[in-house]
Structure 1
Amino acid sequence: MTETPKPAGTRGAVDLSSVTGAPGPAPAGPPVTGGSAAAGSAGGAGATGATGSTGAAPTAPAVPEGLVVEVRAENLQSALNKTLQVPGVLVLWSSAHPQTRELVETVTRVAASLEGRVLVLVADLSAEPELLQAFQPILVQAFGQPTVPATFGLLQGQPVPLFPGMQPESEVRVVLDQLLQAAVQNGITGRVDLGPVPGAPDDDELPPLHQAAFDAIEAGDYAAATAAYEQALAANPKDHDAELGLAQVRLLQRTSEVDLTAARAAAAADPTDVDAATTVADLDVLGGHVEDAFTRLLDLVRSTTGDDRDRVRTHLIELFAVVGSHDERVRKGRTALMSALF
């Protein structure tokens, strides 16, 4: 069995049953603050409090009609249901602190660039007292205090804390890349049914080979998904979506029948065993222990020679592709690999 993956840097799932259940009386005033968050962000940068920023939020970008769902108390459950097949990201903000809307627009810009692979759910806690009341304990559970803005990932309706406070676009992109990786690892590979982008042609259908790969993943047929992505890359070697999908599916395929305990025991018994080390590195990536996986293989690159060294190097590069080039750990890993090789 393999470990259940989570987006890197998360703090574990939280209980939203109080949100979707019957709400109690609304609080007298919004206690949600925009101060500096106590918890660190998933991307590694410190979260900036909402009240610490100044100036009006920028104009919202043109985005596909189906990309963003405005969440209210009455449609929360149906909004969560949309993430059964498509990964979601939930942004809590407050119109009482207009500057917090900037995070909504940042997340939306990043999601728009992902071509429907992430659905954005947005809730204004100041406009929805029932949601405000319900989310207060959830925010404390996740981040140590009730703070807005705050961002959660949603996988099959289950929320996972991503980060509190404001974040720059580069950090948001890293976190959403990690969320997508966890989604693929859990077989959540659907896409948002996008409407047209204002001023752009309506073209939201997946290429046939990509659709075939997604359908195969959902059916658990990793061999068929691999074949579809390989065909897509043969037709267009610059198809980065197919390249990422292929790396992720190959990881799932390699680990689908692995005995976790036996694999780790083999690697511990002989740290120079290339097969055991690469298998455990795969399991570490699936479990969200990306740095452990990279460190294990980098150490092996330094201690091996010839064909063994080349096998480890090639495997490490493939894991870089699984994690994604925007991830800071990949950038550091590539630098360390160059140093180890030369």
Structure 2
Amino acid sequence: MSIPNNRGPLPPSSMNLHGAVDLSALKARAEAARTAPQGGAPAAGNGQQAEAQPASGAGAAGSPYVVEVTEQSFPQLVQLSSQVPVVVDLRAGWSEESSRVTAVLEAIAVEHDGKVLLAKVDVETQPQIAQAFQAQTVPTVVAVLKGQPVPLFEGAVPEQQIRSFIDELLKVAGANGVAGSLREGADAEGAEAAAEEPPLPPHHRAAFDAIEAGDYLAAAASYRQALAEQPADAEAKAGLAQVELMQRLKDVDAATIRQRAADEPDILESQLAVADLDVSGGHVEDGFARIVAFISRTAGEPREAARVRLLELFDVVGIADPRVTKARGALARALF
């Protein structure tokens, strides 16, 4: 999923914490594993915190900003993600695409000199982490900001596009107060840079604070007020679409929604609900295609409601995203 600009809230994909992706559960399980006795001996050196190991690949050049991660060392990433963005590279040794993407990510991590941490995960030896992020292919690359997962991309992505993803991630991180550095003595420098960020407009600030508190209804009200005062406020429009999606998916059961959609292919609400899940989980094209298919086989009010929801999801993803451009074309063909 494309990442919003550096003036908005965290991307809507962070909603996965309220649904199928549960990093807190993974963290708790890893912490329990470290302290539980195994074969009569304490785990991880008498309960001492397991350390994430620096990667030894040629691209990483032994960089401390590239680490190999296990389920036991995963809690460190959650903690560090409040200081710097953590990029999680879900990969497999047999995949040439994984190797190419990893090499690019390693180079980027070294170049940023502590502003970002690359966490490499072997999905074959660490399947629990892959399952937590709902990774269905390798490579899958996800970020973690303040303990919240942010899907970035899947598959073989060109180097320039990968760099664009990381650049936007750093902008979003800075706007959300994650502007530190792992480089010794750089924390004060990062804090000073964060302090120089221009303040958000009042209604945007109120919306962001409400999102932080989990009050999506209040956030939506703030964005609506911003739009009432400035109808051309594109950031408020995108923010409103995001928090409305968050509210719709709050406390939902993903398995139930998907089963209902399978059982009710011609029921508007069922198809829109699973499309929401797809977009929030990073399966943007699947979500768009589902709504377009519904539009193509129905008519009347349900068709119009589906069209409106699709346009809202375009705002969630970002109107400049190529997946949105592609879906707009498919929508036009379905309508005309």
* TM superposition score normalised by structure 1: 0.55
Aligned residues: 256
Shift of 1:214: 1.4
Q: Which residue pairs with 1:269 in the alignment?
A: 263
Q: Which residue pairs with 2:57 in the alignment?
A: 32
Give the unaligned 5+ runs of structure 2.
Answer: 1-15, 35-43, 68-74, 90-103, 127-139, 180-189
Cα distance in 2 for partners of 1:308, 1:101 equals 48
Distance 1:167 1:231, change over 3 A: same
Q: Which residue pairs with 1:3 in the alignment?
A: 19
Shift of 1:250: 0.2
Tell me the alpha carbon deviations over residues 129-188 of structure 1, each in whole angstroms, 9 at most, x when there is no partner: xxxxxx78869979xxxxxxx98622335888968999544444357769999x9xxxxx
Q: CA RMSD in A?
A: 5.2
Shift of 1:89: 4.5
Matched residue of 2:295: which SS? helix
Verify: 1:191 aligned to 2:191, yes or no.
no
Matched residue of 2:116: which SS? strand
Verify: 1:239 aligned to 2:255, yes or no.
no
Matched residue of 2:143: which SS? strand
Shift of 1:253: 1.0
Distance 1:341 1:166, change over 3 A: closer
Cα distance in 1 for partners of 2:228, 2:277 equals 28
Tell me the alpha carbon deviations over residues 227-275 of structure 1, each in whole angstroms, 9 at most, x when there is no partner: 1111122223333332222111000111225444443343223322112
Shift of 1:292: 1.9
Verify: 1:121 aligned to 2:116, yes or no.
yes
Distance 1:230 1:138, change over 3 A: same
Residue 291 of structure 1 aligns with an amino acid whose one-letter code is E
Give the unaligned 5+ runs of structure 1.
Answer: 7-11, 35-49, 51-69, 92-98, 109-118, 124-134, 143-149, 184-188
1:153 pairs, out of 137, 140, 143, with 143
Matched residue of 1:191: which SS? coil
Shift of 1:302: 0.7
Q: Which residue pairs with 2:305 in the alignment?
A: 311
Contact 2:210/2:218 (<8 A) preserved:
yes
Shift of 1:88: 4.6
Structure with the bigger percentage of helix: 2
Cα distance in 1 for partners of 2:76, 2:253 equals 38
Identity of aligned residues (%): 35
Q: How does 1:1-342 map to 2 (within 5 A)?
A: 3-4=19-20, 21=50, 31-34=56-59, 81=79, 83-84=81-82, 88-89=86-87, 103=108, 120-121=115-116, 153-156=143-146, 167-174=158-165, 190-192=176-178, 202-342=196-336
* TM superposition score normalised by structure 2: 0.56
